[in-house]
Structure 1
């Protein structure tokens, strides 16, 4: 019996879009052989054999469906599902499960995420909040010890940081609601991939090296990710038979096996009694997760956010994510400027300032709406955006930290005088975008938070547990300023994940999203405005150098902007910068005027992504 989405019918849909893109998708389960059971319970690494990964390309154009992700193996699995008659939801779940194999430090069964879906049959956008939850025993002092906040790195690598996973329930709920394949059918390709193994690339080796010290403190993680006690070599094959068996278990018994069965007890044991190596000197604090926390977990169906921008309808993820409200508020602010007529300096100035303002308001007002009074409607109102946008001056930059405004009672150029801190969010996240031949579209961001999550692999199960609860504020930065993002019982920590679908005249125009922690919002915002306002194709908009301003003293910029004359031009306005190697790693799909699909992924960031289509064209 599958776990079902919490039924909130009144919150499930948006205003119906005009018309539809096609008939309902007929069921067409993909056939596949089960992976053979492998002896032993650890990963293994050897030089790559006959299997070669698909070629990686950041752009693909064609018909019949499209998939864009960070990994060519995962994208190819999604394309195969589409080719065999599955719809966008089937392909999205299959792609995500494959990323749990090839991108285990970014996503997997031990994490959570947000799923945004355009249903061509109804013309509606629907969403699933699959964010992790704190234990039911948690309170605002979760990360305090002797009245002081824990050092961040100690909180990350601990049972305290692990939230109840939402990814498995998201997959099953999405398939139950909108898919044509069963969970077992959707997991089977990733099950085979985990059994067969994937080819280690330079990015995977670098990420492993960055976690080597932590992984060595947990025998299950070391056995899986440090085969023979060494970093996996580039070009070697890494296998995960434990995960293959876990996928097969979920496919056979449904996700109740994870939320209520022996697997649930294994997760709880890992959290409550972290399996630390006997010779480790690391202090790993236990968490308080129980089997009740797992059995009580469910995803939430809710309305997406909706913003109107340049005649387009921009749909995103509502709180507990701050992505939809913050992107929406910034777009509402930018709506009053003719960005297409501005030079690069003036465009970037306004983009940076709109981001600064929207982040100030995000920090003060956005949290889990099940626990906090979040003024979502006010944050997305044009009146509020206008009251905040008037702070932007043509010839002078604002300074951070900027006080928040009050969306409940907007005042022209007003603020509450309250400044909310920017909480840290790890960048180990992944995003995938899928479209099928019937016009259905999925934009899905999923994560385990830090690169490598908590570093704790569930023994004999093949997946890492998240450290999502460190996305909470550890304590209020100012006791006088209410903080909607403090921990609480069963509470979801605030996220910046921003899976986005954009409609024009009721039909999909493009969809996009990105990993990158708190930089996700600015990555989506800048990519969207580059595409809509600056005349860039979607691939060009994804590739363009980025800046991210999150109500901090300095604006981070990639080398392409740091080394550009426009940096000095902006500095003359008072902007302050620091250089960072890369920001985000987006994927997206554009529906072209002739009906073809153009999938786009990063050409270089994080080693480049993989865009694929079912039937390529010129």
Structure 2
């Protein structure tokens, strides 16, 4: 499989013009040039001529790197380079994470961007403390309980995905601003410079970008702003090798760099978001039904970031820190690990370890679906779910002889609450209903893992939800909006209680699982992945592979994946690469049934990780193959 971004145009640093007006209008929404070697193409070897410019001579893509100082791993070479560039200039891991995310908003616009949200887990070395920055999208204040229903029945899920109705209030820019203000050393004006340059100067369309555009073709053809940005004059995706530019996104980044978060949540950008949501720019004559949404200017002005404590558990000799509600990732991961802790991997074969991994995930997902939702709306039994005693009581439900053939029922974690006073609240009404369309897995989202020389670490997952978000580019501003409200559960009966039903101001439940692993009080591992609800199983399988099966972190991350999320049939998803392995044969003998109905060519997730070693070095790891391979770098090679 070809590596992505192997022949990128050379990009230099942008120096902002002090005389430029904040309201300047740039030329076309997108500008695509011929491939290198064709007339008019920007030749390789450009750049600024500055010897200190990391982008002046782009390195070969490497999925693994070991060395000293800071380290970074992302899905894209330019995102990783942007992080290393900030680290080399003296910025810390938080500064570098925002710089990388903003570049990925240009180069990986179908997965992340300022139109979405995310969860950032930060380890502060000086304080030996882990904090979680929740900038998840929220439901608009004007969202009615009946919004996702028509004639008493749920609106078709595909119609919700491509609509203004599915758009949550974006949290990314305020999340970046808050992270930098509290824990960074630089400001938005500093960390956005590389992203401005990448968006304006452009980058070469690779196979991944081309295929992602193709999967969104029908939607983009139906939306004028998306068609103008992502499709050529013939209405087809720009070909592999063309140079893609997004001057409107560069202008949006400039506005944010100059005006801070206020430039996004008020003024022309906010007005354009509201207009695109409430009156989607549908192509004349389109037959696609694109429903309007209800976001108002006040929703954007009032959006708030939450600084939350991390969810923590112990697993064998390790302490695992993850993201708490409204993400279900950290809790579900901790519950599964607590279940697995009762088995000794040294007494088991790899097939037996994987059999227990699937069984633990099944039970954890049963509870995830039944009890978890936005903590500001739901009294979820978090203490009970994290209780080791609760795991002990549930562990015997993992059949060690044969695979299950049906979904597991949720347990009763309320009986294990350390404080029995909280009422079960809305959680009990959801028993037995653990999966829905929003639990379908996908690879749309991205994960960034970064450390700095001072020992600070960032594990950051950001997203616009589905591939291409809701399909609507904000006119004049070059970024796609999210469809995050489809992460709410939509029961057949609009009056049915559920911890994850839509309510005004509520944050939909997420599966994002930024994770930090400590041993003897020191960082050992940082990791996570995209992949919808398979994010949780991807992180869990990597941890099981590394800790229980003894695989080096790069091998654990690259290993073929399987995912059990309490499917009604008892079947598990599997990557195509897993189906021919001896482990697949051994699991089949235990009755496991696998489906490889995955998006993105039979792949599950696209993880990144950092492994910290006792000698002070760090290994950065990205996917070697998935999404055509990611990029890992260190400040100083070993």
Tell me the TM-score normalized by structure 1.
0.92
Indicate if the aligned counterparts of 1:217 and 1:282 stay in contact, CA closer than 8 A. Answer: yes
Give the aligned partner of residue 596 of structure 1: 617
Give the aligned partner of residue 564 of structure 1: 581
**Cα drift, residue 34 of structure 1:** 2.4
Q: CA RMSD in A?
A: 1.9
CA 1:457–1:31: 2 relative to 1, 3 Å:
closer
CA 1:462–1:217: 2 relative to 1, 3 Å:
same
SS at structure 2 position matched to 1:541: helix
Question: Among 186, 195, 204, which residue is 1:199 paired with?
Answer: 204
Question: Aligned partners of 2:371 and 2:431: how far apart in 1?
Answer: 11
After TM superposition, list the pairs within 5 Å mapping 1:356-367 onto structure 2: 356-367=362-373
Matched, 1:432 2:419: no
Indicate if the aligned counterparts of 1:34 and 1:192 stay in contact, CA closer than 8 A. Answer: no
Matched, 1:302 2:308: yes
**Cα drift, residue 50 of structure 1:** 2.7
Q: Deviation string for 1:149-169 (max 9, x for gaps)? A: 111111100000000001111
Matched, 1:543 2:558: yes
After TM superposition, list the pairs within 5 Å mapping 1:34-53 onto structure 2: 34=16, 39-46=26-33, 47-48=35-36, 49-51=42-44
**Cα drift, residue 422 of structure 1:** 1.3
**Cα drift, residue 312 of structure 1:** 1.1
Give the aligned partner of residue 615 of structure 1: 636
Gaps of 5+ in 1: 1-29
Give the aligned partner of residue 54 of structure 2: none
**Cα drift, residue 145 of structure 1:** 0.8
After TM superposition, list the pairs within 5 Å mapping 1:138-153 onto structure 2: 138-153=143-158
**Cα drift, residue 58 of structure 1:** 0.6
Question: Aligned partners of 2:493 and 2:612: how far apart in 1?
Answer: 44
After TM superposition, list the pairs within 5 Å mapping 1:199-238 onto structure 2: 199-228=204-233, 229-238=235-244
Question: Among 43, 46, 57, which residue is 2:62 paired with?
Answer: 57
Question: Aligned partners of 1:54 and 1:158: how far apart in 2?
Answer: 40
Question: Aligned partners of 1:31 and 1:73: how far apart in 2?
Answer: 13
**Cα drift, residue 576 of structure 1:** 1.6
Question: Aligned partners of 2:452 and 2:347: how far apart in 1?
Answer: 35
SS at structure 1 position matched to 2:445: strand
SS at structure 1 position matched to 2:73: strand
SS at structure 2 position matched to 1:470: helix
Indicate if the aligned counterparts of 1:31 and 1:185 stay in contact, CA closer than 8 A. Answer: no
Question: Aligned partners of 2:313 and 2:472: how far apart in 1?
Answer: 40
Give the aligned partner of residue 574 of structure 1: 591
Tell me the TM-score normalized by structure 2.
0.89
Question: Among 320, 323, 333, which residue is 1:327 paired with?
Answer: 333
Q: Deviation string for 1:163-214 (max 9, x for gaps)? A: 0001111100000000001111011110111011111110110000111111
**Cα drift, residue 396 of structure 1:** 2.0
Gaps of 5+ in 2: 1-11, 37-41, 46-57, 418-426
Question: Aligned partners of 1:102 and 1:610: how far apart in 2?
Answer: 13
Matched, 1:188 2:170: no
Give the aligned partner of residue 478 of structure 2: 462
4+ residue stretches of structure 1 with deviation over 6 A? 35-38, 477-480
Give the aligned partner of residue 123 of structure 1: 128
Question: Aligned partners of 2:407 and 2:145: how far apart in 1?
Answer: 24
SS at structure 1 position matched to 2:192: helix
**Cα drift, residue 476 of structure 1:** 5.2
CA 1:128–1:476: 2 relative to 1, 3 Å:
farther
CA 1:242–1:478: 2 relative to 1, 3 Å:
closer
Give the aligned partner of residue 66 of structure 1: 71
Question: Among 59, 75, 81, which residue is 2:86 paired with?
Answer: 81
Indicate if the aligned counterparts of 2:409 and 2:432 stay in contact, CA closer than 8 A. Answer: yes
Q: How many residues are matched?
A: 584
Question: Among 403, 409, 418, which residue is 2:431 paired with?
Answer: 418
Give the aligned partner of residue 107 of structure 2: 102
Give the aligned partner of residue 507 of structure 1: 522
Question: Among 514, 535, 542, which residue is 1:520 paired with?
Answer: 535
Question: Aligned partners of 1:476 and 1:54: how far apart in 2?
Answer: 52
**Cα drift, residue 262 of structure 1:** 1.8
Indicate if the aligned counterparts of 1:141 and 1:474 stay in contact, CA closer than 8 A. Answer: no
Question: Aligned partners of 1:477 and 1:565: how far apart in 2?
Answer: 44
SS at structure 2 position matched to 1:446: strand
CA 1:323–1:396: 2 relative to 1, 3 Å:
same
**Cα drift, residue 38 of structure 1:** 7.5
**Cα drift, residue 375 of structure 1:** 1.4
Matched, 1:242 2:256: no
Indicate if the aligned counterparts of 2:203 and 2:243 stay in contact, CA closer than 8 A. Answer: yes
Indicate if the aligned counterparts of 2:31 and 2:245 stay in contact, CA closer than 8 A. Answer: yes
Indicate if the aligned counterparts of 1:476 and 1:486 stay in contact, CA closer than 8 A. Answer: no
Question: Aligned partners of 1:468 and 1:548: how far apart in 2?
Answer: 22
Question: Aligned partners of 1:352 and 1:183: how far apart in 2?
Answer: 43
**Cα drift, residue 344 of structure 1:** 1.6
Question: Aligned partners of 2:214 and 2:112: how far apart in 1?
Answer: 18
Matched, 1:349 2:355: yes
After TM superposition, list the pairs within 5 Å mapping 1:462-501 onto structure 2: 462-475=478-491, 482-501=497-516
**Cα drift, residue 311 of structure 1:** 1.6
